[in-house]
Amino acid sequence: MVISFYYSGRLVGHVSTSCSEGCRISLGQPSGHGEKLYAPDALEHVRFPSADAIQNERQKQITRKFGHLDRGVLLHSNKQGIFIKRLCQGRVFWSGNTMAYKDRPNKLDREDVVKIFDTNLFFRELQQYYNNQGRFPDSRVMLCFGEEFPDAVPLRCKLILVQVEQLYLRQVVDEAGKSCSSSPMLPMAEEPQHEQGYRIFQDICTPRPLFRESQQIAV
């Protein structure tokens, strides 16, 4: 996945992830065993950039106080699409090609695994575009932390936005932009199989009881 961070409409961070099990986006490093129940070491950890890059002092202070986002979200990408689980107490809203509402905010419920992007739907819409039957599909997902989204407020006014995109789809989009071909059939990009990673992601998202450090865990 390609993950881009925007504070008040300004790009402040950009990272590419390659861990097949997925990643966790949060404010800081996991603090203890309780955190590992939600984000085991197998997940790549991606931290929010520092708010120091924000020029407006008031917006900088507000962004720094978003401590209720410390546990963040879990993200996983495979050939089926992009999946997310919200762990943080702070509200998270999103937009993507699977959202139920296009004219009002879409909120992520805490602890639920949600498919926020459908890769097959993207390719079907891309095929329709090349058949002059629709618009060019968007391969990106937007996450808005702490504020309702999408709504009438311009993106540049949102304090924290995170854009997520499957890397190989970005390459497909780039190639589509360069190509002048009107061929009705587009080759699907090759992608490694991530079925095992998806099962791991589903497994770690299943609520588990807390346990004592001295308690033995059956394998």
Does residue 139 lie in a domain region? Answer: yes
Going through the chain in order, the beta strands assigned E by DSSP cover 2-7, 10-16, 23-26, 44-47, 73-78, 81-86, 92-95, 113-118, 140-145, 160-165
Does residue 217 lie in a domain region? Answer: no
Does residue 215 lie in a domain region? Answer: no
User: Can you tell me the distance from the alpha carbon of 206 to that of 213, in angstroms, rounded to the nearest whole number?
Assistant: 20
Phi-psi region of 174 (alpha: psi -120 to 50; beta: other; left: phi over 0): alpha
Output the average pLDDT for the chain. Answer: 78
Question: What are the tens digits of pLDDT across the range 187-205?
Answer: 333 334 344 434 444 443 4
Question: What are the tens digits of pLDDT across the range 40-67?
Answer: 567 899 999 988 877 778 777 877 776 6
User: Can you tell me the distance from the alpha carbon of 64 to that of 15, in angstroms, rounded to the nearest whole number?
Assistant: 21
The boundaries of the domain holding residue 132 are 2-204
User: Can you tell me the distance from the alpha carbon of 156 to that of 50, in angstroms, rounded to the nearest whole number?
Assistant: 18
Count the Cβ atoms, other than its own, within 10 Å of residue 47: 15
- Written as six digits, the tokens of 135 are 């618009």
Count the Cβ atoms, other than its own, within 10 Å of residue 114: 16
Does residue 216 lie in a domain region? Answer: no
Does residue 129 lie in a domain region? Answer: yes
Contacts of residue 15, defined as CB under 8 A and 6 or more positions apart, other chains included, come to: 2, 3, 46
Contacts of residue 216, defined as CB under 8 A and 6 or more positions apart, other chains included, come to: none
Q: Which pLDDT value is given to residue 207?
A: 42
Count the Cβ atoms, other than its own, within 10 Å of residue 111: 11
Contact indicator for 80, 198 with CB cutoff of 8 Å: yes
Does residue 100 lie in a domain region? Answer: yes
Contacts of residue 53, defined as CB under 8 A and 6 or more positions apart, other chains included, come to: 7, 10, 12
Does residue 56 lie in a domain region? Answer: yes
Question: What are the tens digits of pLDDT across the range 108-126?
Answer: 999 899 999 999 999 999 9
Question: What are the tens digits of pLDDT across the range 144-171?
Answer: 998 999 988 888 889 899 999 999 898 8
Does position 135 have pLDDT exceeding 80, yes or no?
yes
Does residue 212 lie in a domain region? Answer: no
Q: Count how many domains the chain has.
A: 1
Domain CATH code at residue 101 = 2.60.200.10
